[in-house]
Amino acid sequence: MIWVDGKILPDDGLAINAADRTFEHGLGLFETLRTWGGRPALLDRHRARMLRSAEELRLPIDPASLPDAEAVRAFLEAEGAGEDRLLRITASGGTESGKSIVWMRSAPLPGPLGGEAGASVLVDAWKVALDDPMARHKSLNYWPRRLAYEEARRQGCDETLSRPTDGRAGGGYFEGSRTNLFTIRGGGSGLVGKSPAILNTTSPRSPIVPGIMRGEVLKVAGDLAEGSDQEIPIIDDLEDILLDEADEVFLTNSVRGIIPVARAVDARTGKERHRWPSPGPWTQRLQDLLAERLRPDRGETP
């Protein structure tokens, strides 16, 4: 089933004009999220990001055509899933004189990336230009990211990390093909009696999609000191991230939340280059706090 403009239709019930620019140049946008305890907790932020991208890319998306929380509730009730679901909202490119078509579908939630052992990331296989105008948008023209992800899977990894095309010595990494990148430096992989830990992530000024879950994790980390003697300073304006200095590594994604990373694999040699605890103690703590924040039956809601 799909949701289109307030109507719930069979999968083949969507009609798009053959002149829609989606079919010419891959114009269009999408957002992928999930429900938490039955609620699309981050839906408003995904809607806002889609509209910002639409404005920047001059796509004719009518805000009223996007589903709200009530539309999600009615859609999932009609599907009768009875459990948390993945949601994808897609907006076509529209015709030269017409609005974009927006639709929503759902699917079961995927399993943990990397399983209980933690995720593996492929490094030095995917390069991105600093001035790539499409790098910051969830565009339907997704082939570069899709191909990078498929190469990671071919080499037995769960995700791949982008890095600059200029090949500068000592350069770090930007993000995953469908995830944002975080590292924790210091703390000695312990919470007490160690050197102070620092949370690092890439600046939105770099060629990354500023993830909705990325922003949520930064909020959780920023609130960590309230009522506690434990806090973690945040550096969120780095051009890129150095893995050599990391004591813990994790990825974020609006469907999977926080994804602990266990190792990095060199794309050229196939050998393990780095290994980290998965999850490390700070990563585990942030995972727990995030679940409390997003699930209405487990404490604070966003």
Report pLDDT digits (tens) over 144-192: 999 999 999 999 999 999 998 876 555 799 999 999 999 999 865 444 4
- Where in the chain do CATH 3.20.10.10 domains reside? 115-298
Q: Which residues of the chain form CATH 3.30.470.10?
A: 2-108
User: What's the confidence (pLDDT) of residue 296?
Assistant: 64
* 178 CB-near residues (< 8 Å, 6+ apart): 145, 149, 159, 253
Residue 146 contacts residue 220 (beta carbons within 8 Å): no
Fold held by 2-108: D-amino Acid Aminotransferase; Chain A, domain 1 (3.30.470)
Mean pLDDT of the chain: 89
Distance CA 241, CA 199 (A): 11
Burial class (CB in 10 A: 0-12, 13-18, 19+), 122: buried
| Mean pLDDT computed over 107-125 | 90
Is 116 strand, coil or helix? Answer: helix
Question: How many Å separate Cα 115 from the centre of its chain?
Answer: 18
Give per-residue pLDDT as tens, 45-71.
Answer: 999 999 999 999 999 999 999 999 999
What is the rounded CA–CA span in Å between residue 197 and residue 200? 10
Compare 188 and 20 and report the one with higher pLDDT.
Answer: 20
Share of the chain above pLDDT 90, in %: 73
Q: What sign does the CA torsion over 22, 79, 47, 65 have?
A: positive
Fold for domain 115-298? Answer: D-amino Acid Aminotransferase; Chain A, domain 2 (3.20.10)
Q: What is the pLDDT of residue 147?
A: 96
How many helices (DSSP H) and strands (DSSP E) are in the chain? 6, 13
Query: What is the mean predicted confidence (pLDDT) over 80-84?
Result: 85
197 pLDDT band, cuts 50/70/90, is confident
Residue 106 has a pLDDT of: 96
What are residue 249's DSSP bridge partners? 183
What Å distances lie between residue 83 and 106, 168, 275, CA to CA? Answer: 11, 47, 35
CA distance 80 to 274: 44
Q: pLDDT value at position 300?
A: 39
Q: Measured between alpha carbons, how far is 19 from 106 in angstroms, rounded to an integer?
A: 26
